[in-house]
Structure 1
Amino acid sequence: MLLRAFGKRKYVSGGSYDINGSGKFDDITEDVLKKFKKLSVNAIWYTGVVSHATKTHFHGIKDCNASIVKGEAGSPYAIRNYFDVNPALANNHDNRMVEFEALIRRTHKAGIKVIIDFVPNHVFRQYDTYFTRDNFYILDGPLVLPQSLNSDYVENPAKATGNDVFHRSPSINDWYDTVKLNYDNPDTWKKMLEVLNFWAAKGVDGFRCDMVEMVPAEFFSWAFSEIKRIYPNTFFIAEVYGKENYRKYHETGGFDLLYDKSGFYDTLRGIISDGASARLLTREWQFLGDLQPKMLNFLENHDEQRIASDFFAGSGRAAFPALAVSLLFNKAPFMLYFGQEFGERGMVKEGFSGLDGRTSIFDYCYVPSIRRWLLDRLTLDELVVYKEYCRLLKIATSDAIFAHGETYDLMYANPDSELFDGNRQFAFMRGYEGTCMLVVANFEDRPVEIEVNIPDEAYSFFGLQREGERVCLKVGARDYMRLNLV
């Protein structure tokens, strides 16, 4: 969750901190945490905690050059002090770290682990303490920023920009607010280990590591082993995009979990938005192999468009078949983005981002469905979506057949016919300790009557002596069905 956008506040598009305010550490009350537990949440990734670039003035903190800050609030990934928290999130700015430490304790008391961002690849351009010249890539000549910024910021010599721009003229589409750290320098490794140690000592349980493919896998292997010597239960999640790099960042990098972005997420999005074949899910499942439990499934995060937005599925209910596949097909954990459980649409026009189907990370925005939830004013449709998320998440985490069972993909045994369309339906079985269940997801915009062929070898796979069969089902439009077989 983006803490800055959590709360009941009123909202003005593009409003400053003084106008819109900000979500606070204290907004995550014991009651809120109990509601998260009802949703089967066992860890919360608090986004935007670490001090980052902003246009907002806070007493006693050096101002940022506004011309190189994205949005009013600034990007949570343009870090300006690795050892401080965002003052906008505190009721008392001078007491901000104490307030965050109290949030850690409250979260732990609720039986939920705390995750924050670790941004190892880049920092805000004006991060002028802690690092020295040799921690960056220094270029010839002064920085030349895009003219549209009308910037008076001076950087001479220029440093390489965060998204691997190794020339002094980043474009408006580059990460011009950041500079890249130099991992050819061993001192950078030591400094970033100090960052991890600092937060682990405060009780942070895990780190979502940003843009890991831009940092040597060997650094993570070394740093994680050092951290786990002192804090053995600390876990690390990789934001990794290229599925060809999954194994590298698990086996060499030592990550506990990896985003399955270019695999399951992209495939499910293609099925929903672009009419791609549901059979492609089989390809992704086979590609992962033994990496399945190490992947992190998701349908939303701050980088991606809301699944209920006009740019994706169009409604929260339309996400149900993709949700069922993400939660029930394998044993990978699932990441839920705050508001997704209500069908949040992300269709609020923001100052920096505009109307793009996302909850902006750059401005003092809000999440309409979260606000309604906190005020007990959810719409009927939001209540329907929320109940389904609660039900499916509980099944996925508490039902042994899904939490611990094996998977049998039925797509190979079901060629396209009048009674089964493998482009729009996806069928599989889960089995555990003598029980079997059939799951069918229907991505079609209409209800369907289908026939699923279950071969003899499917039951044999689960150690059962039972003949194959054909099962007839009715599945609703953009919905799914579970059926006990044994």
Structure 2
Amino acid sequence: MRYFLLYLVAAFLILCCTAPKEQIPPLETMQQSSGKITIYQMMTRLFGNKVTVNKPYGTLEENGVGKFNDIDQTALKAIKDMGITHVWYTGVIEHAVLTDYTAFGIPLDDADVVKGRAGSPYAIKDYYDVDPDLAVSVPDRMREFERLLDRTHQQGLKAIIDFVPNHVARAYHSDVKPAGVKDLGEDDDKTVAFKASNNFYYLPGESFQVPKGYNALAYYGFPTKDRKFEETPAKVTGNDQFTASPGINEGFETVKLNYGVDIQNGRKTHFDPVPDTWNKMRDILLFWAGKKVDGFRCDMAEMVPVEFWNWVIPQVKAVNGEIIFIAEIYNPDQYTNYIQTGRFDYLYDKVLLYDTLRLLLNGQRQTQDIHAVQKRLEQVNHHMLHFLENHDEQRIASKAFAGDPWKAAPAMVISATIDRGPVMIYFGQEVGEPGKGSEGFQGDDGRTTIFDYWGVPEHQKWVNGGRFDGALLSLEQRQLRQFYTDVLTLASTNPALTQGDYHDLTAYNISTGNFDDKVHAFVRHHDTERLLVITSFNDKERTTKVQIPTDVAEAIGLDVSQVYIARDLLWREAEVGFDKSLTFDVRLKPYSSFIFKIK
């Protein structure tokens, strides 16, 4: 009945929204509440895995795999207790894998167009199903996922899943689509390169060729491994390569979806009538909304026309106004467009804040560059999702990044507190997981694999055989996890951080000679709550003066005739007193941070 009602709503919306230029609510009516979102991203198949074999290209039986059922109430409560509000379950929707599920009516995937043994979670092969790897009972896999959603909600958490709109696996086929739903490409005219009503782009007269040099699973065999994949006419790759012979470093395992944009003809758009792909994608989003999913992280969102998002997001929010949409986007010049026109709630802030902080940690930027980022994003920074790790980025503790999880502590504090935008951590980040090991397709590159079955060693110490109590963690790892808990809890609950205004102190204190270019400070305030956040990216201890200039003091309601003190909320060890010029001295250890409450 629930799905029937959803489709009735969808049918009504189709009548009202048959053209991309429909009236939509003004932006301010679509904003989320004043609370700050904190996201815990987990690679679902790795999170609960207890097996420690870690054989390169190991099978599911050899290396193990985490299940929906592993993520129990104990695990979720521990995540919630870290100050987390949302869990992003990565890799839920069924994608191409090299594990045999034919006994359950799921065809074997072709090894020559799958990366790794467990496959990319972004090579979707059935938008209406979940990954069978994640189920204890494969026939009951959707019900196991629904129970995970129920557990998540029972803990007061919200659940985000991936929506992958730009591309699908080359062998896409839905085995469990609802009655009346046609598969992608089922009605395509394959004799032409482009047609607005087609779901895919084609290369007529050409057959797909497996990339030269690609040897799936290295020296391991698989029944479908023969260095061939039958596809005539060839489809265009997910990363817009219009060739039947894509390179080994291209997105050859995926094919591009057609949203009515003639990419090879000046990117001319054909949005009236509404392209078939738009309707199919809307129905998929409504299907998952019906499962009580609370949000969608939209993969490669800027490779899909902004007009589609403008059309589809209001329709989904008409069913559930609390659902959030997060765009993976890397072009700052398009940020405002994807918020105002595209109607996204939040966007990745990788290119600006993440890159600045990472380069600062490596000595290639200066702390005053952070304020430049905030000024550039002044009108939209509460829409920006901050992070230091995710499945695409190298682990902080890896040699390729910082090499030491504590070295990034000041960057984490800034990410979590500098504005009202959400902040995210990646599972294992809170215990210093370094992403070591050559797992298979991905190799040893400082990231945790997304392509192969694997155990995540430092994270597994916290899992402790499914107890999720951290008993196997070292003292330093427990302290690191407590640090993350304190930062995220403050970020998600303190009104100065969830609602307050921002004032930079760095430029002024550098100009007066108080700071060098590796010390950073700002103030956040809301009503009478005033926090001063100071961080040091120096590798040596130093004592520095911190002064609040007159204009900032007036803006946050400080009276120079009064006496103020500041107590640290992060470590709860430091207390400083201001002199009459609103200046105090503070000892900064290497890569240290304080969050002072001014009283």
The alignment's TM-score, normalised by the length of structure 1, stands at 0.97
Identity %: 43
Does the CA-based 8 Å contact 2:495-2:529 persist in structure 1? no
2:200 corresponding residue in structure 1: 136
- Give per-residue Cα distances to partners, 1:61-80, cap 9 Å, x unaligned: 01110111000000000000
What aligned pairs does 1:115-264 form with structure 2 within 5 A after superposition?
A: 115-128=160-173, 130-132=183-185, 133=188, 134-140=198-204, 141-149=206-214, 151-184=227-260, 186-264=275-353
Cα deviation, residue 435, structure 1: 3.9
1:302 aligned onto 2:388: no
Aligned with 1:268: secondary structure? helix
Does the CA-based 8 Å contact 2:506-2:515 persist in structure 1? no
Does the CA-based 8 Å contact 2:112-2:210 persist in structure 1? no
- Give per-residue Cα distances to partners, 1:255-311, cap 9 Å, x unaligned: 011111111111111101243111110110001112111111111000000111111
- Could you tell me which amino acid in structure 2 is paired with residue 92 of structure 1? S
- Give per-residue Cα distances to partners, 1:417-466, cap 9 Å, x unaligned: 76410x21111112222343322110111111111232111111123332
Does the CA-based 8 Å contact 1:162-1:180 persist in structure 2? yes
Cα deviation, residue 241, structure 1: 0.9
- Could you tell me which amino acid in structure 1 is paired with residue 534 of structure 2? V
Change (3 A) 1:274 1:66: farther
1:6 aligned onto 2:101: no
Aligned with 1:67: secondary structure? helix
2:556 corresponding residue in structure 1: 462
Distance 1:464 1:419 in 2: 21
2:592 corresponding residue in structure 1: 479
- Give per-residue Cα distances to partners, 1:227-266, cap 9 Å, x unaligned: 1111221110111111111111101110011111111111
- Give per-residue Cα distances to partners, 1:105-137, cap 9 Å, x unaligned: 111111111110000000000114511132101
- Could you tell me which amino acid in structure 2 is paired with residue 81 of structure 1? D
Does the CA-based 8 Å contact 2:84-2:489 persist in structure 1? no
Distance 2:499 2:319 in 1: 30
Does the CA-based 8 Å contact 2:327-2:348 persist in structure 1? yes
- Could you tell me which amino acid in structure 2 is paired with residue 162 of structure 1? G
- Give per-residue Cα distances to partners, 1:48-105, cap 9 Å, x unaligned: 1000011111122011101110000000000000000000000011110110111011
Distance 1:370 1:68 in 2: 30
Change (3 A) 1:404 1:468: farther
- Give per-residue Cα distances to partners, 1:386-435, cap 9 Å, x unaligned: 011111111112222222221110122122576410x2111111222234
Distance 1:435 1:52 in 2: 47
Distance 2:149 2:530 in 1: 40
The alignment's TM-score, normalised by the length of structure 2, stands at 0.79
1:389 aligned onto 2:502: no
Distance 1:355 1:242 in 2: 28
Aligned with 2:426: secondary structure? coil
1:355 corresponding residue in structure 2: 444
1:433 aligned onto 2:527: yes
What aligned pairs does 1:306-325 form with structure 2 within 5 A after superposition?
A: 306-325=395-414
Distance 1:157 1:482 in 2: 60
Structure possessing the higher radius of gyration over alpha carbons: 2
- Could you tell me which amino acid in structure 1 is paired with residue 142 of structure 2? M
Root-mean-square deviation over aligned CA pairs: 1.4
Which residue, out of 4, 13, 21, partners 2:64?
21
- Could you tell me which amino acid in structure 1 is paired with residue 160 of structure 2? I
Distance 1:254 1:289 in 2: 18
Aligned with 2:308: secondary structure? helix
User: Quick check: 114-123 or 341-350, which moved more?
Assistant: 341-350
1:81 aligned onto 2:126: yes
- Give per-residue Cα distances to partners, 1:24-60, cap 9 Å, x unaligned: 0000001111101110111101011000011111122
Distance 1:416 1:315 in 2: 31
Cα deviation, residue 219, structure 1: 0.4
Does the CA-based 8 Å contact 1:439-1:480 persist in structure 2? yes
Unmatched tracts of structure 1, length 5 or more? none
Distance 2:95 2:553 in 1: 54
Distance 2:557 2:548 in 1: 15
- Could you tell me which amino acid in structure 2 is paired with residue 445 of structure 1? D
Aligned with 2:202: secondary structure? coil
1:364 aligned onto 2:453: yes
Distance 2:230 2:586 in 1: 66
Which residue, out of 545, 558, 582, partners 1:451?
545
Does the CA-based 8 Å contact 2:295-2:324 persist in structure 1? yes
Distance 1:434 1:127 in 2: 56
1:442 aligned onto 2:527: no
Distance 1:418 1:278 in 2: 14
2:117 corresponding residue in structure 1: 72
Does the CA-based 8 Å contact 2:508-2:549 persist in structure 1? yes
Q: Number of residues paired by the alignment?
A: 485
- Could you tell me which amino acid in structure 2 is paired with residue 144 of structure 1? Q
Distance 1:378 1:175 in 2: 38
Does the CA-based 8 Å contact 1:68-1:149 persist in structure 2? no
Which residue, out of 155, 177, 180, partners 1:110?
155
Aligned with 2:235: secondary structure? coil
Aligned with 1:331: secondary structure? coil
1:401 aligned onto 2:496: yes
- More helix, by proportion: 1
- Could you tell me which amino acid in structure 2 is paired with residue 66 of structure 1? A
Aligned with 1:135: secondary structure? coil
- Give per-residue Cα distances to partners, 1:358-408, cap 9 Å, x unaligned: 110000012112211111201122111101111111111222222222111
Aligned with 1:451: secondary structure? strand
Change (3 A) 1:460 1:26: same
Distance 1:57 1:148 in 2: 25
Tell me which of the two structures has the higher relative contact order, counting C-alpha pairs closer than 8 angstroms and 6 or more residues apart. Answer: 2
